[in-house]
């Protein structure tokens, strides 16, 4: 009976379509992972976001260019070292980040607001805190991700330098020790810069203000410290040069690695912290600032919490 068959087909066709829509609501009975998983997920998402991964193509441009700019000089130094048979690298590992501090500052100014201002501006923060995570999980994840992103930015060229130095058959022990110190300084720098950058960026939901604030704080403090140091140098106040370095993030790292890691100082005249007390003071200030920015972020998010 052909008519019936066509009828059956006609009935079947929509039934097939509707079956897709008619899957009723299914409850989720799988695992619900704990806060450490949530923290890790947010960390990974924020770290990827700091290089534009998982975001639009446009947001990959700046971080990738800055990473390339950071790595390029290291590559050139390597090439020169290998072809001219140098006996040592033309600069210390610890010095590299100081030379390229402008690039690091620019990266931080662009990415710290990206990481925290968006959640504030689009009021996504309450959605996080209406979930099992606590305030501290959010702050740890964001802080950790920013520091890790900076560490990759600062550490990658050091790895390139190190590999190049080994290819140029430079002394293995010296290079490894220098590389290790470089990484340690890079880690401290990442934590310090990341913390300060996030605190400044979290003050305002406006991304532009965040960018401006980070650039201003880093460049103005650095400019002020180095010019006052120059004045002190001309007046022969060498001890003052060391103490003055405490007042900007870049010179803090410079002074700390000069005292602690035996690096050559970028300070005017090459004067680092004048003695062990001053050096220890540098270490305490750096650690204090890292802890302080963490505490400030915690405070900040207590306020924005919900509603």
Partner 1 sequence: MTVIETESLTKRYPRVTALDRLSVGIEPGVTGLVGANGAGKSTLIKILLGLSPATEGTAAVLGLDVATEGPRIRSLVGYMPEHDCLPPDVSATEFVVHMARMSGLPPTSARERTADTLRHVGLYEERYRPIGGYSTGMKQRVKLAQALVHDPKLVLLDEPTNGLDPVGRDEMLALIRRVHSDFGISVLVTSHLLGELERTSDQIVVIDGGKLLRASSTRDFTQATASLAVEVTDTDDHPDGTRAALEAFTAAGLTAHADGHLLLVDIADESTYDTVRDAVAALGLGLIRMEQRRHRIAEIFKSKQDQEGGSRDAA
Specify burial of residue 253 (Cβ count, 10 A radius: 0-12, 13-18, 19+): buried
Segment interacting with partner 1 (CB under 8 A) among 80-88, 118-126, 214-222, 253-261: 118-126
Among 133, 153, 198, 225, binds partner 1 (CB under 8 A): 133
Range 55-114, binding partner 1 (CB under 8 A): 55-56
Among 130, 174, 176, 227, binds partner 1 (CB under 8 A): 130
Cα separation of 229 and 208, whole Å? 31
Asked if residues 157 and 70 have their Cβ atoms less than 8 Å apart, the reply is yes
Q: Which is nearer to partner 1, 4 or 22 (CB)?
A: 22
Minimum Å distance from CB 306 to partner 1? 5
Specify burial of residue 276 (Cβ count, 10 A radius: 0-12, 13-18, 19+): exposed
Segment interacting with partner 1 (CB under 8 A) among 119-127, 223-231, 263-271, 287-295: 119-127
Segment interacting with partner 1 (CB under 8 A) among 31-39, 90-98, 155-163, 169-177: 31-39
Alpha helices in the chain (DSSP H): 2-22, 35-50, 57-83, 93-99, 101-121, 125-129, 135-167, 172-202, 207-234, 238-244, 249-260, 276-304
Burial state string for 257-272 with b = 16 or more CB within 10 A and e = fewer than 16: bbbbbebebbbbeebb
Q: What is the DSSP letter of 87?
A: S
Distance separating the N- and C-terminal Cα atoms of the chain: 67
Question: Does the protein bind partner 1 through residue 208 (CB under 8 A)?
Answer: no
Question: Does the protein bind partner 1 through residue 35 (CB under 8 A)?
Answer: yes
Question: Does the protein bind partner 1 through residue 48 (CB under 8 A)?
Answer: no
Minimum Å distance from CB 304 to partner 1? 12
Asked if residues 279 and 259 have their Cβ atoms less than 8 Å apart, the reply is yes
Minimum Å distance from CB 25 to partner 1? 4
Question: Does the protein bind partner 1 through residue 122 (CB under 8 A)?
Answer: yes
Question: Does the protein bind partner 1 through residue 131 (CB under 8 A)?
Answer: yes
- Number of residues lying near partner 1 (CB under 8 A): 36
Positions touching partner 1 (CB under 8 A) are 21, 24-28, 30-35, 37-38, 41-42, 45, 54-56, 118, 122-124, 126-134, 305-307
């Amino acid at each position: 009976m052909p008519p019936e068959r066509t009828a059956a087909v006609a009935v079947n066709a929509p039934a097939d379509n509707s079956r897709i829509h008619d899957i009723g609501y299914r409850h989720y009975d799988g695992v619900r992972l704990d806060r450490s998983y949530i923290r890790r997920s947010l960390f990974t998402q924020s770290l990827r976001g700091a290089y534009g991964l998982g975001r639009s193509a446009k947001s990959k441009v700046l971080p990738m260019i800055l990473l390339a700019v950071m790595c390029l000089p290291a590559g050139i130094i390597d090439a020169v070292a290998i072809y001219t048979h140098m006996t040592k690298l033309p600069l210390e590992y610890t010095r590299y980040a100081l030379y390229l501090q402008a690039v690091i500052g620019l990266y931080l100014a662009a990415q710290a607001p990206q990481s925290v201002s968006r959640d504030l501006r689009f009021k996504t923060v309450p959605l996080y805190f209406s979930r099992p995570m606590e305030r501290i999980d959010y702050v740890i994840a964001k802080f950790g991700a920013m520091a890790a992103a900076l560490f990759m930015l600062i550490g990658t060229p050091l790895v390139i330098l190190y590999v190049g130095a080994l290819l140029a058959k430079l002394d293995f022990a010296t290079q490894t020790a220098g590389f290790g110190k470089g990484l340690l300084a890079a880690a401290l720098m990442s934590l310090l810069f990341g913390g300060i950058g996030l605190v400044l960026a979290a003050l305002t939901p406006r991304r532009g203000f965040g960018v401006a604030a980070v650039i201003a704080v880093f460049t103005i403090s650095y400019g002020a410290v180095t010019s006052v140091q120059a004045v002190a140098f001309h007046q022969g106040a060498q001890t003052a040069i060391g103490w003055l370095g405490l007042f900007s993030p870049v010179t803090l790292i410079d002074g700390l690695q000069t005292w602690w890691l035996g690096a050559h100082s970028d300070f005017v005249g090459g004067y680092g912290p004048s003695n062990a007390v001053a050096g220890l003071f540098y270490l305490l200030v750096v650690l204090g600032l890292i802890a302080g920015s963490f505490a400030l972020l915690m405070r900040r998010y207590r306020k924005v919490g919900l509603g």
